[in-house]
Structure 1
Amino acid sequence: MGPTIIMIKEMLKDLLRFLFIAVFVVLGVGIYYHANIWPDHQSIWSDDWNNWRIWPIIYFPYWQLYAELNLDTLDANCTKNRTIWENDPSKNGCLQEDWTVQAIAGIYVLFSSLLLVNLVIAMFRVRENSEKLWHFQRYTVICDYNRRIPSPFNLIPRLVQLIFLLKRDCSCDIKIGHTEIDLMNTKEKRKKSALQKNFQKIISFRSYNTK
């Protein structure tokens, strides 16, 4: 399950990058459609959220991602009476002919289906790299456990530390000095351990990026 989990994690990262690009593309194309097909609809936000103009802006380019072009259904639910569609947000004014909309639709479908979708499929091919990352993470876990005392023997050093702490509490004169020294030693050990782990990660990721 190790490589599979890493694969899913890396694929989700790539998918989020793809969705970030796709949102801007869908909104840009949808606004272009709306501005040229329904140029008289000025209000985007109405009282009822179901009738907001943002929904038809997103609707057509979103479903075109799945090859649902809607070329023969764009003229449905419309009226030529300006008073009706101005007072009823659920009604659309009839479409106005604009050849650039069809041209942009063709370019958008070509871009979304051939480039973006194939791009995200190509980014999902991370099986070989995921196995390398999993081996590296397994190595770091083994190294971490190699430095640790296994249970229940790890209780013995804790008891020894507790005894030393109690002794230091009894000798008030040297308590502060010993505590400061121990704190400094502990911090230095933690820094060394963190630097060693970061160094291992840097070496691993450099070899991972070069292969």
Structure 2
Amino acid sequence: MVVDVLRFSTSTSIAVSRGAVVYPYRWHARDRALRDFAHQQDAVPAVGRLEADRPDAPPGTVSLSPARLAQLPGLPARIVLPSPNGATISAWCAEHTTQVYAGCLRNAGALGSLLGRRLYDEPGLTVAVIAAGEQWPGGALRPAVEDLWGAGAVIAATGLPRADLSYEARAAADAFLNVRDDLPDSLPACGSGIELTQRGFEDDVRYAAQLDADRVAPRLIDGAFRAERLLSR
């Protein structure tokens, strides 16, 4: 499970909940290669948020922005989303395992319930949770507490006994539970939330903080995240 709350996993959750499929794409291989890949998949490549907001941008231009994906009157059926963290990690995971999910605060309940049921039905199954993190301006990895919260939200929603969780998973769940009732204020106040708000993207942070707003579990199938909807127990 790949967790990149600001913004890839949140954007993916919104897009698949609206009926689209999302192809994750490595950030460093953009430009012409991105357009060629999107053409091969009969998909629309996402552009940068600033580019999508330009007055001369074509109507319906898609970007990595969760707010834009939520507010567009209609979404393309197939979207390619490049990002330096979540999409790049997802593309890597697709080459090394057959089951990859995108987790965030918006789909924590749906995804956690699905994974909890699978873990109950399949003894011995292990779920690896990857909190994507962020990058400093020079490219070095920096921790991102929003991804810890997102991972913890899904883990908590599995309903698993604490004895079945690693200590790291317990710590993530506890971190989320500590801010669960204060997410609309906590997310904008963390480092990544402040950074996006200063760049004028506070609406992206607001959408990312909406706990359990999406009732889908995005699963990577044939190279694209598709909606695996929550079923009743």
Provide the TM-score with structure 1 as the length reference.
0.22
Higher share in helix: 1
User: Bigger relative contact order, structure 1 or 2, given CA contacts below 8 A and separation 6+?
Assistant: 2
Provide the TM-score with structure 2 as the length reference.
0.21
Greater Rg, structure 1 or structure 2?
1
